[in-house]
Structure 1
Amino acid sequence: MFITTDDGVKLHVEEAGEGTPILFIHEFGGNHLAWEPQMSFFARRHRCITYAARGYGPSDIPNDLEAYSQRRAVDDAVAVLDGLGIEKAHIVGLSMGGFATVHFGLIYPERALSLTVAGAGYGCEKDLEEYFRGVSREVADRFEAQGAEAFAKIYSLGSSRVQFQNKDPRGWQDFATRLATHSDVGAAMTMRGVQARRPSFYDLEAELKEMTLPTLVMVGDEDDHCLQPGIFLKKTIPACGLCVLPKTGHTLNLEEPALFNSFLAEFIAMAEAGRWAVRDPRAIPGQVMKTD
């Protein structure tokens, strides 16, 4: 089905199952189909929804750069919920979708039951912030000049993607094949409009400290540029837990689907039971051992 956003963009939406809703938001290198291991697993007991972000077929692909932004990505997620008549959902995002999930919690906390932020952090490290913005624009140029079919052969072998290829060559090939079908224009606009312009998590510290939604941060231990931002989120968001998957790269939900689903299922169960609370004030970070 399609829903239409307030700026007239049609988004392709898929859903399965019944129960408490879960909204899955995909990464830059993936699309709505990349959530299939989660859609199949969680549809046993939840109403599962995923969608193709603007710029990703079969959703619309605007040519105007100003149609793409971090705020617009969040508003699109809300538009999907509105279009399906859903008041609240568990929000689950990977990478670019993880950034959207964090901002969803900041802007629309009343619409979220919980937040799962997986593999998010690229561009957050302050010493690499400008480099990331520049390389994002370079990647956009490559998608335009070479086309997704050709450039996917390079992008899919990034330093945090090869772990997936080594563990699961067939799964990685499916990922790379999907990447090769991306819109050249949509990929370039997304890189320039969303990735290259989004704020660092570190710039949102004051707001994150006030966000009390149950939050799970998931990161692979070989996804180097997400590790420290993940720890930052853990230390900053009051009701945040951190899950680090060993010998794992960026594409968490596909690289380790059983582990991902297991941790996510437990988190959602805890959140729905009201047992994923803010950190106990007695757990003082600076304390080594209690003496009095």
Structure 2
Amino acid sequence: MGAVRRGYFDSRGFRLSYLDSAPGARDRPAVLLLHGFPDEAGMWVAQIDALHAAGFRCIAPDTIGCGESAVGAQLHDYSARLIVADALALLDQLGIAQAHIVGHDWGAVLAWYAAIYYPQRVLRLVVLSVGHPTAYGRAGLAQKIKGWYVLFFLLAGLSERLLSGNGRFSLRRVFGTHPQMDAVMQRLSAPGRLTAALRIYRANFVDVLFRSHPAVPASTLALWSECDAFLTESQMLASESRVRGKWRYQRLGGRHWIPLEQPALLNDLLLAHLREA
């Protein structure tokens, strides 16, 4: 990751971690990169390298309970709205008023939330895999079937026990296509880390699936991969009606983990979208 540095900041009483490709650089446009489950900030290494070389400053936080960030003791600590507030608090600490926001998986949900509820902070939006939360929540049966694991993850205690094992419902079986599965298993084997990672599902189930959220004004690039085992194309296509800014959609080949599996293509698409700003 070149000269990227890890920093720490306090938000809500938690010590949270982040990566910064150009500490102190106020002359570079900022890009906030938000990871999902079961990842951490380091998943963006290829994007950080490419965007930094193109003149951007990349900020990639470990969300609460993930990577090197502190673990919250309460379920409410993992509210998506509070996690977005953490990310904006980080930008405030760094003196960054506005940023492009890029998110994958749950990070895409966080990116949507930022663009919905803090539009003045968002320059351009890039969402990978997951559509607007209202479009996702209203998606049809095909998405409900693909997302069966969400209900499984809500079973606190039981899901941790099964996910940590070697059976049909182990993490290796459910998310076995992850390109860095060994690293994921090692990271989530630390005490409390698997529960912390799962809590983003448990804390936001109602807000994402059953509440309606406004449209976003930001120009938006939406990417979905045709072999995604967890998400349907329909929930992303339906998101167009939830964007008031310029909408651009591209269907990709490959599987769910676009930043890790198709870094060169993603980098080209990011640069084309962000340079239009």
Q: TM-score, normalised by structure 1?
A: 0.78
| 2:103 is the alignment partner of 1:93 | yes
The residue type equivalent to 1:29 in the other structure is: P
User: SS of the residue aligned with 1:113?
Assistant: strand
Among candidates 168, 171, 182, match of residue 152 of structure 1: 171
Counterpart of 1:288? none
Structure 1 unpaired stretches of 5+: 165-171, 273-292
| 2:86 is the alignment partner of 1:76 | yes
- Cα drift, residue 202 of structure 1: 8.4
| 2:16 is the alignment partner of 1:11 | yes
- Cα drift, residue 152 of structure 1: 3.5
- Take 2:210 and 2:222, find their aligned partners in 1: how far apart are those partners? 13
Counterpart of 2:4? none
The residue type equivalent to 2:220 in the other structure is: T
- Take 1:98 and 1:259, find their aligned partners in 2: how far apart are those partners? 18
- Cα drift, residue 21 of structure 1: 0.4
- Take 1:8 and 1:15, find their aligned partners in 2: how far apart are those partners? 21
Among candidates 38, 43, 49, match of residue 47 of structure 2: 38
- Cα drift, residue 39 of structure 1: 0.8
User: Which 4+ stretches in 1 moved above 6 angstroms?
Assistant: none
Counterpart of 2:220? 215
- Cα drift, residue 229 of structure 1: 1.2
Name which of structure 1's ranges 99-108 and 230-239 shifts more when overlaid on structure 2: 230-239
- Cα drift, residue 132 of structure 1: 5.9
Counterpart of 1:197? 206
- Take 2:262 and 2:219, find their aligned partners in 1: how far apart are those partners? 23
- Cα drift, residue 236 of structure 1: 3.1
- Cα drift, residue 133 of structure 1: 4.6
Are 2:259 and 2:266, in contact at CA under 8 Å, matched by a contact in 1? yes
Deviations 1:206-253 (A, max 9, x none): x21xx221111111012262411110112331322111102x211111
Are 2:39 and 2:66, in contact at CA under 8 Å, matched by a contact in 1? no
- Take 1:110 and 1:48, find their aligned partners in 2: how far apart are those partners? 19
- Cα drift, residue 131 of structure 1: 5.1
Are 2:153 and 2:159, in contact at CA under 8 Å, matched by a contact in 1? no
Question: Aligned-residue CA RMSD in angstroms?
Answer: 2.4
- Take 1:241 and 1:113, find their aligned partners in 2: how far apart are those partners? 15
Among candidates 256, 268, 271, match of residue 262 of structure 1: 268
Among candidates 215, 229, 251, match of residue 244 of structure 1: 251
Residues 201/87 of structure 1: CA separation in 2 closer, same or farther (3 Å cut):
farther
User: SS of the residue aligned with 1:203?
Assistant: coil
Structure 2 unpaired stretches of 5+: 1-6
- Cα drift, residue 146 of structure 1: 4.8
Are 1:133 and 1:197, in contact at CA under 8 Å, matched by a contact in 2? no
The residue type equivalent to 1:241 in the other structure is: R
- Take 1:92 and 1:252, find their aligned partners in 2: how far apart are those partners? 12
Residues 252/202 of structure 1: CA separation in 2 closer, same or farther (3 Å cut):
farther
The residue type equivalent to 1:54 in the other structure is: I
- Cα drift, residue 89 of structure 1: 0.5
The residue type equivalent to 2:39 in the other structure is: G
- Cα drift, residue 203 of structure 1: 2.9
- Take 2:206 and 2:14, find their aligned partners in 1: how far apart are those partners? 21
Residues 190/236 of structure 1: CA separation in 2 closer, same or farther (3 Å cut):
closer
Q: TM-score, normalised by structure 2?
A: 0.82
- Cα drift, residue 72 of structure 1: 1.2
| 2:151 is the alignment partner of 1:134 | yes
- Take 1:25 and 1:249, find their aligned partners in 2: how far apart are those partners? 19
Aligned residues: 249
